[in-house]
């Protein structure tokens, strides 16, 4: 009986020892495990540093992804009155109940929507040469740069010097002469078209680049070396345009101000030295004052000018104290009689106050801009950069 009692006690002791080992190991693992912190509130941007193009423009490529947290979603107030579309025509207030039956999903479709009656035109190409415009010294550029988690972007200098003042192309027409400010947009996604625009367009024509351009800084440097003023495009929400046509960095009214601010910071940081930005589409976003004012505030603080072609941004820019220009003529790809439209704009020009034309490079737009710019002087019109049309420059 004594032996059986000792054996029973021995088994019980071993059981307690095993339990203690298990509990001790578990407690030790808890103490040694890394502390997990709560995820950062706001938007998580997973954009690559150099996405190749607008989503949807190349079906063989997977567009960069972007994750949103629920707290970044903003329910925009219902807009009042009417919205002004890209082409300047008034459209009825959109319904918030149903999306467009056939949403636009590519860049070309989005631009074509601005002028449904457009047809492709072909104008013989030619070439021109002009003196180069040299950038400010490297020290001055570094003083006008801000390093951010997204990259390096333009910023005001210590003495208040603005990138707009440092990088714009100053070109005044002859006294009493009529002039038209001309910019060619949609560059960077097609290397061949971009190369031709930089090479053959007169340096007085400003060039506007998509933020998704691969090696954007290299393209900007080449354009500036040829004397061109450069502009960066900011994709923004537009009625009936699918997100795929705008890309993952697009500014949207249903995102919080913080979410849009992070995307804007990413766009501005694609290249470090330029004077202005412009909307890419964006009639819906620009018309939403609560969404647009923070964007303009960032541009003012950075010392950048804003070019608007929606018809809604100029008044907001005035209130925000941002140098700005309102586009008087937008020519999407394949616009019918682009030369005639530019001629009509020139006829209405007043000396000392050049109207601004925005011509998209695709669908014959580049050739139309080139042909018109090369013959404008013979018709008594001077071509000046987009910054010549900017108000509030001082």
Position 213 scores a pLDDT of 97
Position 177 scores a pLDDT of 87
Position 375 scores a pLDDT of 95
d(C-alpha 64, C-alpha 45), whole Å = 10
5-38 burial code (b ≥16 CB/10 A, e <16): eeeeeeeeeeeeeeeeeeeeeeeeeeeeeeeeee
Beta bridge partners of 391: 324
| Cβ count within 10 A of residue 114 | 22
CB 81 within 8 A of CB 93: yes
Position 17 scores a pLDDT of 58
Position 243 scores a pLDDT of 84
d(C-alpha 178, C-alpha 353), whole Å = 8
Domains of the chain, earliest start first: 103-389 (3.20.20.370)
Chain centre to alpha carbon of residue 116: 24
d(C-alpha 356, C-alpha 327), whole Å = 5
Position 173 scores a pLDDT of 74
What Rg do the C-alpha atoms of the chain give, in angstroms? 28
d(C-alpha 219, C-alpha 213), whole Å = 9
d(C-alpha 128, C-alpha 198), whole Å = 11
CB 270 within 8 A of CB 314: no
* Per-residue model confidence as pLDDT tens digits over 186-220: 999 999 999 999 999 999 999 999 999 999 999 99
Split the chain (394 residues) into runs of 10 and give each run's mean pLDDT: 44 54 47 34 42 41 40 40 27 31 46 39 29 47 92 93 95 84 97 98 98 96 96 97 92 96 97 97 97 98 97 95 97 93 94 95 96 93 96 76
Strand-strand pairing, 90-91 and 83-84: antiparallel
d(C-alpha 244, C-alpha 134), whole Å = 37
In the structure encoding, which two tokens stand for residue 364, read together? 């014959």
Strand-strand pairing, 230-236 and 276-281: parallel
CA dihedral 210→147→325→80, nearest 10 degrees, is: 80
């Amino acid at each position: 009986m004594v032996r059986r009692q000792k054996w029973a006690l021995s088994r019980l002791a071993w059981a307690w020892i095993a339990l203690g080992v298990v509990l001790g190991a578990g407690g030790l693992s808890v103490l040694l495990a890394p502390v997990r912190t709560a995820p950062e509130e706001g938007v998580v941007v997973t954009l690559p540093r150099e996405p190749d193009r607008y989503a949807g423009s190349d079906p063989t490529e997977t567009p960069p992804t972007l994750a949103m947290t629920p707290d970044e979603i903003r329910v925009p107030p219902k807009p009042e009155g009417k919205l002004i579309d890209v082409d300047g025509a008034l459209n009825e207030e959109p319904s918030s109940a149903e999306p467009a039956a056939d949403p636009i999903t590519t860049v070309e479709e989005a631009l074509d929507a601005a002028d449904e009656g457009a047809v492709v035109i072909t104008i013989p190409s030619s070439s021109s040469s002009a003196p180069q415009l040299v950038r400010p010294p490297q020290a001055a550029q570094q003083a006008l740069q801000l390093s951010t988690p997204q990259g390096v972007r333009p910023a005001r200098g210590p003495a208040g010097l603005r990138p707009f003042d440092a990088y714009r192309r100053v070109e005044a027409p002859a006294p009493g002469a009529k002039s038209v400010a001309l910019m060619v947009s949609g560059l960077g996604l097609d290397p061949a078209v971009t190369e031709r625009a930089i090479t053959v367009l007169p340096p007085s024509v400003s060039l506007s680049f998509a933020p998704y351009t691969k090696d954007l800084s290299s393209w900007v440097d080449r354009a500036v070396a040829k004397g061109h003023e450069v502009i960066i495009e900011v994709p923004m929400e537009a009625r009936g345009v699918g997100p795929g046509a705008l890309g993952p960095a697009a500014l949207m009214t249903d995102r919080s101000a913080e979410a849009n601010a992070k995307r804007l910071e990413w766009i501005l940081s694609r290249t470090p030295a330029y004077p202005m930005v412009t909307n890419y589409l964006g009639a819906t976003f620009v018309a939403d004052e609560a969404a647009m004012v923070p964007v303009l505030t960032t541009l003012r603080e950075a010392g950048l000018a804003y070019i608007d072609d929606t018809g809604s941004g100029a008044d907001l820019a005035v209130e925000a104290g941002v140098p700005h220009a309102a586009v008087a003529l937008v020519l999407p790809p394949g616009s019918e009689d682009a030369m005639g439209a530019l001629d009509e704009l020139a006829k209405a020009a007043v000396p000392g106050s050049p109207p601004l034309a925005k011509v998209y490079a695709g669908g014959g737009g580049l050739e139309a801009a080139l042909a018109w710019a090369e013959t404008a002087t013979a018709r008594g019109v001077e071509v000046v950069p987009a910054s010549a049309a900017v108000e509030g420059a001082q």
